[in-house]
Amino acid sequence: MKKIPSALRDVATEFDSLPGIGPRAALRYAYWLATQPRDHIRRFGEVLARLANDITLCGICGTWAEGTTCEICRDSQRDQTRLCVVATSQDLRVIEESDAFRGRYHVLGGLIDPIEGRTPDMLRISQLVTRVSNPESPIKEIILAFDPDVSGDTTASYLLKRFENLPVTVSRLARGLPTGAQLEYADGNTIADAINNRRS
């Protein structure tokens, strides 16, 4: 990329650092952005600057917020006895869009993954335990809403041990066959989960 103007090269380098975008796509995005009206480019830069300056983590649940507390934690109409623990803010958004849960949340900031070097002390687990073990806490039920994979299972097992002496009920999202799935293509664990989580 020696013959490319440095401004384009720098933008392509930043795009290349995004997940799922390789060097070619990054360069394509940089060239596309350069063809846009100057006002559009400036507006794009201003929006990114706002993201850097105005977005912080909610001091209670840990999701992204404008200000010290997010809208969900400020909403007094939500059920304070139920706490849904998720890995990321994106997971929180997906659950909110389902409109199936009206309690509070706690965002860990990831899942335990020793292979990736992500240990419990790197996540917001101590804040979660403090929040739940507070004698004045109204929390009665904790729902662990993690991906059904090794990292999700590892994190759930770790949290279950941390909660075992607390007066709360801990549950996980039901697992099993997704709608439209065919039995012949499902693995043994999925079928076992579907049988164990069956309902009448």
Bridge partners of 23, per DSSP, are none
Q: Which is it for strands 64-65 and 56-57: parallel, antiparallel or unpaired?
A: antiparallel
Of the candidates 46, 79, 74, 48, the residue with the CA atom closest to the CA atom of residue 60:
74
Name the amino acid, one letter, at 73.
Answer: C
Q: Where in the chain is the domain with CATH 3.40.1360.10?
A: 64-172
- The backbone region for 105, taken as left when phi is positive above 0, alpha when psi lies in -120 to 50, beta otherwise, is beta
Kindly state the helix (H) or strand (E) to which residue 194 belongs, with its residue range: helix 188-196
Fold of 6-54: Helicase, Ruva Protein; domain 3 (1.10.8)
Q: Where in the chain is the domain with CATH 1.10.8.420?
A: 6-54
- Residues 41-55 have pLDDT tens digits of 999 999 999 999 999
> What CATH number does the domain located at 64-172 have?
3.40.1360.10
- Residues 74-115 have pLDDT tens digits of 999 999 999 999 999 999 999 999 999 999 999 999 999 989
pTM of the model: 0.83
Bridge partners of 140, per DSSP, are none
Of the candidates 80, 73, 142, the residue with the CA atom closest to the CA atom of residue 64:
73
